[in-house]
Structure 1
């Protein structure tokens, strides 16, 4: 479901149990940043690369795979409070540094979480607000929301305006039948029969339940394919690391 990062997207997608990094919203609808004021656009040399969420005034929560190939943060900025990624508005802040979870593994994207520390503080307003971290997973089949500017079809183009889509929690005991490498630090969400999902460009963005950050867009097989839910880094399992690292 999920593909190669942001401006470095691969045009070919294949069905496999190996992780493909997720980058877009499929089967969703246009929304407004005021509905999801925690959503940010991570930019690399000015181009949208990944999504992410505001944790506090100078810290962004995103996916480790969005930054693990970079030598440093010198070419990264964060756009806050924008609806459109091609003509962004709002606040833009440089990234001072990023920290990747020590247990992150590129082979299966276990512990796929990173914090980005900003060079300056976010000015909170109706388009820019932090999001609370979830403390527990919802039950199987619970509706949740995922947002982003990723491609709206597999192998397609980024959405210009922010998109949202509702999917349902898929218990790990069920999701494991699709992905043999599924780990306890991951959670799954999708819909029966496919058709709704995150995808290319959505990586690092939020999976939301009851206005809390439940998951971080991570990987999957293709995008919105039947029987292949999206896989997310599970915030309840990563919460302690996020809170402790953000204070360092």
Structure 2
């Protein structure tokens, strides 16, 4: 599809309220085996991968609110979804969707999953720290997931990762026309890399911290507009308040 046609299609989709949720890593590479040990695959009762997420405490996974339907458990401790066993699976006890979330295009696309038990942190499973404040200027960040690697393709079994750069929010807003509050833009603009459509709920990792949650994009193999993430730093109070009763 010609870039102009894709832009026109995008604005039509936005008008209709149907921006694309992230579900593919485009032009990435296999994640090294002992990296990103915080990554979680969110699955349904049949073991189908639906979304990504990331472990922030032994009993909590952070993800996107739009991932809520049908997920029943998370898989931790493996990059290869063909090698999942009962030891990797942890059921979800409770879901805490942000109270202001209505739909992706209006923002607050963030959710905490309370696991049924605490997981053991070891050489296969680790947590990832969250930012302590707002983003500084960052150039090199990463996003990862198990989504398809091309539009219309099937999900992959091996975790893939791609490098992306933060995009100025003014530039991002200009390209999109409008954006919800509390978002970060990275990748997908002026490049053929990003989550177009990246794995929903997965982390945007900069300097070893999970600064964003994959939320939405335009869709397509080579996006013309930036990829959009929920800005985790804007929800630290909500996250801490949700975790507090379980300490």
- The TM-score bracket by the shorter chain reads 0.7 to 0.9
Higher strand share: 1
Higher-Rg structure is 2
Q: Contact 1:144/1:169 (CA < 8 Å) preserved in 2?
A: yes
Runs of at least 4 residues of structure 1 off by over 6 A? none
**Residues 89-100 of structure 1 correspond to what in structure 2 (within 5 A)?**
89=85, 91-100=88-97
TM-score by length of 1: 0.86
Q: Within the alignment, does 1:130 sit opposite 2:136 as a pair?
A: no
Unaligned runs of 5+ in 1: 1-13
Aligned partner of 2:6 in structure 1 is: none
Q: Within the alignment, does 1:15 sit opposite 2:10 as a pair?
A: yes
The CA deviation at 1:183 is 2.3
The CA deviation at 1:23 is 1.0
What CA deviation, in whole Å up to 9, does each residue of 1:64-118 have, x standing for no partner? 0000x45xxxx61111011112332552110001010011121514010000001
CA RMSD across the alignment: 1.9
Aligned partner of 2:143 in structure 1 is: 146
Unaligned runs of 5+ in 2: 1-8
How far, CA to CA, are the matches of 2:220 and 2:125 in structure 1? 29
Q: Select which of 183, 195, 198 maps to 1:198.
A: 195
Q: Secondary structure at the match of 1:195?
A: coil
TM-score by length of 2: 0.86
Q: Contact 1:61/1:116 (CA < 8 Å) preserved in 2?
A: yes
Aligned partner of 1:111 in structure 2 is: 108
Q: Within the alignment, does 1:49 sit opposite 2:50 as a pair?
A: yes
The CA deviation at 1:25 is 0.8
Q: Within the alignment, does 1:244 sit opposite 2:241 as a pair?
A: yes
Aligned partner of 2:39 in structure 1 is: 39
How far, CA to CA, are the matches of 1:33 and 1:66 in structure 2? 26
Q: Residue 178 and residue 158 in structure 1: after superposition, are their counterparts in 2 closer, same or farther (change >3 A)?
A: same
Aligned partner of 1:185 in structure 2 is: 182
How far, CA to CA, are the matches of 1:112 and 1:138 in structure 2? 22
Aligned partner of 1:4 in structure 2 is: none
The CA deviation at 1:132 is 0.6
What CA deviation, in whole Å up to 9, does each residue of 1:181-226 have, x standing for no partner? 3123111101553311114571000100011001000101014534
How far, CA to CA, are the matches of 2:112 and 2:223 in structure 1? 32
Aligned partner of 1:30 in structure 2 is: 30
Aligned partner of 1:207 in structure 2 is: 204
Which fold has the larger relative contact order, with Cα–Cα distance below 8 Å and residues 6 or more apart in sequence? Answer: 1
Q: Residue 66 and residue 191 in structure 1: after superposition, are their counterparts in 2 closer, same or farther (change >3 A)?
A: closer
Q: Residue 200 and residue 171 in structure 1: after superposition, are their counterparts in 2 closer, same or farther (change >3 A)?
A: closer
How far, CA to CA, are the matches of 1:219 and 1:247 in structure 2? 29
Aligned residues: 229
How far, CA to CA, are the matches of 2:192 and 2:60 in structure 1? 33
Q: Contact 1:65/1:109 (CA < 8 Å) preserved in 2?
A: no
How far, CA to CA, are the matches of 2:181 and 2:33 in structure 1? 31
Q: Secondary structure at the match of 1:86?
A: helix
